Structure 1
Amino acid sequence: MRIAILGAGAWGSALAINLSSYHQINLWTRNSHHAAEMVATGINQRYLPHYVLPKTVTVSAILADALKEVDFALIVVPISGLRETLREIIVSRIKLPLLWGCKGFEPSTAKLPHQIIQEECPGRMSQCGVLSGPSFADEVARNLPTALTLASTDIEFSKQLAASLHSSKLRIYTSRDVIGVEIGGAIKNVISIAAGISDGLGFGSNARAALITRGLSEITRLGLKLGGDLKTFMGLTGIGDLILTSTGQLSRNRRVGLMLAEGKSIDEILAQLGHVAEGVHTTQSVLQLGDQLNIEMPITQAVYSILHERVSPRSAVEVLLNREQKTETY
Structure 2
Amino acid sequence: MEDQIAVIGGGSWGSALAILLAENGYQVTLRDISSEQVKEINEKGSNSNYLPGVKFPDGIEATTDLEAAVQDVKAVVVVVPSSVMRSVAKELKGLIAEETIIVSATKGIEKDSFLRMSEVLKDELRAELHKNIAVISGPSHAEEVSRGIPTTVVAASKSKELAEEVQDIFMADTFRVYTNPDVVGVELGGSLKNIIAIAAGIADGLDYGDNTKAALITRGLAEIKRLGVALGAEAMTFAGLSGIGDLVVTCASQHSRNRRLGTKIGQGKSLEEALDEMKMVAEGVEATKAAYSLAKAEGVEVPIINQAYQVLFADKNPREAVNELMVRSKKHEIEEVVQNKENW
Match of 1:28 in 2: 31
Match of 2:251 in 1: 246
The answer to whether 1:103 aligns with 2:107 is: yes
SS of corresponding position for 1:320? helix
- Per-residue displacement from partner, 1:72-108 (whole Å, max 9, x unpaired)? 1010101111111111111325432100011111013
1:64-79 to 2 correspondence within 5 Å?
64-79=67-82
**Cα distance in 2 for residues equivalent to 1:46 and 1:108:** 30
Q: What amino acid is the match of 1:163?
A: D
**Cα distance in 1 for residues equivalent to 2:277 and 2:144:** 22
Match of 1:89 in 2: 92
SS of corresponding position for 1:301? helix
1:75-224 to 2 correspondence within 5 Å?
75-92=78-95, 94-95=97-98, 96-121=100-125, 122-224=127-229
Per mean C-alpha deviation after superposition, the further-off stretch among 285-294 and 19-28 is 19-28
**Cα distance in 1 for residues equivalent to 2:109 and 2:96:** 27
User: Does the CA-based 8 Å contact 1:158-1:174 persist in structure 2?
Assistant: yes
* RMSD (CA atoms): 1.4
TM-score by length of 2: 0.93
Match of 1:16 in 2: 18
SS of corresponding position for 2:77? strand
The answer to whether 1:49 aligns with 2:52 is: yes
> How many angstroms does 1:123 deviate by?
4.7
> How many angstroms does 1:6 deviate by?
0.5
- Per-residue displacement from partner, 1:153-178 (whole Å, max 9, x unpaired)? 11111112312321120001011000
**Cα distance in 1 for residues equivalent to 2:278 and 2:44:** 23
User: Does the CA-based 8 Å contact 1:181-1:232 persist in structure 2?
Assistant: yes
Match of 2:314 in 1: 309
- 1:163/1:93 CA distance change after superposition, 3 Å: closer
User: Does the CA-based 8 Å contact 1:201-1:314 persist in structure 2?
Assistant: yes
The answer to whether 1:297 aligns with 2:299 is: no
User: Does the CA-based 8 Å contact 2:71-2:95 persist in structure 1?
Assistant: no
Per mean C-alpha deviation after superposition, the further-off stretch among 67-76 and 155-164 is 155-164
User: Does the CA-based 8 Å contact 1:128-1:154 persist in structure 2?
Assistant: no
- 1:160/1:92 CA distance change after superposition, 3 Å: closer
**Cα distance in 2 for residues equivalent to 1:167 and 1:33:** 30
**Cα distance in 1 for residues equivalent to 2:105 and 2:96:** 22
Q: What amino acid is the match of 2:123?
A: E
**Cα distance in 1 for residues equivalent to 2:291 and 2:105:** 19
Q: What amino acid is the match of 1:214?
A: R
- Per-residue displacement from partner, 1:125-163 (whole Å, max 9, x unpaired)? 322200000011000000110001000011111112312
Match of 1:5 among 7, 11, 27: 7
- 1:115/1:93 CA distance change after superposition, 3 Å: closer
The answer to whether 1:228 aligns with 2:233 is: yes
TM-score by length of 1: 0.96
- Per-residue displacement from partner, 1:22-69 (whole Å, max 9, x unpaired)? 221110012333323432332212222221222210100001111122
> How many angstroms does 1:181 deviate by?
0.1
**Cα distance in 2 for residues equivalent to 1:161 and 1:293:** 33
SS of corresponding position for 1:299? helix
User: Does the CA-based 8 Å contact 1:103-1:186 persist in structure 2?
Assistant: yes
SS of corresponding position for 1:149? strand
Gaps of 5+ in 1: none
- Per-residue displacement from partner, 1:282-308 (whole Å, max 9, x unpaired)? 100110000000001110111111111
User: Does the CA-based 8 Å contact 1:7-1:29 persist in structure 2?
Assistant: yes
